[in-house]
């Protein structure tokens, strides 16, 4: 390649993942608020909508029958059972965004991130975590969105997910009250990836 051959970078498939309670949703929400030029994938799920969530913005809330139809028609990049409910990433969103030249950001759990890695080895995987297991447990308890049994399961799962760090390309500690710093680190990683000599190329 000539040093003057300045190619337009390929769109990136960026996965924001990590255990429950580390602030993945907050990171993605702040990126949306700052109007970063990415396509943010909306996950389909069969779980019940929480009071502060909006259909089509936070998730696509669908019935189990509708989710089964999406599986049968091969409309999902990946799907999994998470705490008794199904979650999945619709393929059409990603393909449409790539066709328009946009980077795609998806916020998914650790299990889903590893599935995406197998399907698209050139995806960019970013692991969000917090300072310690103790801090993670504290955050989960403070959310007060779970029953006692559900909370215990979520804490145990989160501890296991912390051990999956080697499957990722980057790790960012999301310190309490430093959300903007975390978002800037994500943005810097994406900017650096676009300057690589050998660009990532994702096909789905």
Q: What is the maximum span of the chain, computed from C-alpha positions, in angstroms?
A: 61
Catalytic residue among 107, 139, 154, 200: 154
Catalytic residue among 34, 118, 143, 159: 143
Strand 43-45, strand 85-90: pairing:
antiparallel
- For tokens 């051959």, name the residue: 5
b (16+ CB within 10 A) / e for 61-77: bbeeeebeebeeeebbb
Instruction: Give how far the C-alpha of residue 1 lies from the chain's centroid of Cα atoms, to the nearest Å.
Output: 34
For the record, the structure tokens of 36 come out as 């970063």
User: ∠ at Cα 49 (119, 86), nearest 5°?
Assistant: 30
The Cα 66–Cα 75 span in angstroms is: 11
Does residue 50 carry a catalytic annotation? yes
Chain position carrying tokens 């429950």: 20
Specify whether 57 is catalytic.
no
Asked about 196 being catalytic, the answer comes back as no
Residue ranges of alpha helices (H) inside the chain are: 24-33, 64-72, 91-99, 110-119, 133-143, 148-162, 179-193
- Judge whether 140 and 155 are in contact, CB under 8 Å: yes
Catalytic residue among 50, 69, 95, 141: 50
List the catalytic residues. Answer: 50, 143, 154
């Amino acid at each position: 390649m000539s040093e003057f051959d300045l190619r337009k970078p390929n769109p990136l498939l960026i996965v924001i993942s990590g255990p429950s309670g580390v602030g993945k949703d907050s990171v993605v929400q702040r990126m949306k608020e700052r109007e970063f030029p990415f396509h943010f994938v909306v996950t389909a799920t069969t779980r019940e909508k929480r009071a502060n969530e909006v259909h089509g913005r936070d998730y696509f809330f669908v019935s189990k029958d509708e989710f089964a139809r999406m599986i049968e028609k091969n409309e999902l990049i990946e799907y999994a059972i998470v705490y008794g409910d199904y979650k999945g990433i619709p393929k059409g969103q990603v393909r449409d965004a790539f066709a328009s030249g946009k980077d795609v950001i998806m916020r998914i759990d650790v299990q889903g991130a590893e599935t995406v890695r197998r399907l698209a080895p050139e995806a960019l995987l970013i692991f969000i975590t917090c300072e310690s297991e103790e801090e993670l447990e504290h955050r989960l308890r403070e959310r007060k969105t779970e029953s006692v049994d559900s909370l215990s399961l979520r804490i145990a799962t989160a501890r296991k997910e912390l051990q999956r760090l080697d499957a990722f390309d980057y790790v960012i500690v999301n310190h309490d009250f430093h959300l903007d710093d975390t978002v800037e680190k994500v943005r810097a990683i994406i900017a650096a990836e676009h300057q690589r000599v050998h660009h990532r190329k994702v096909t789905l």
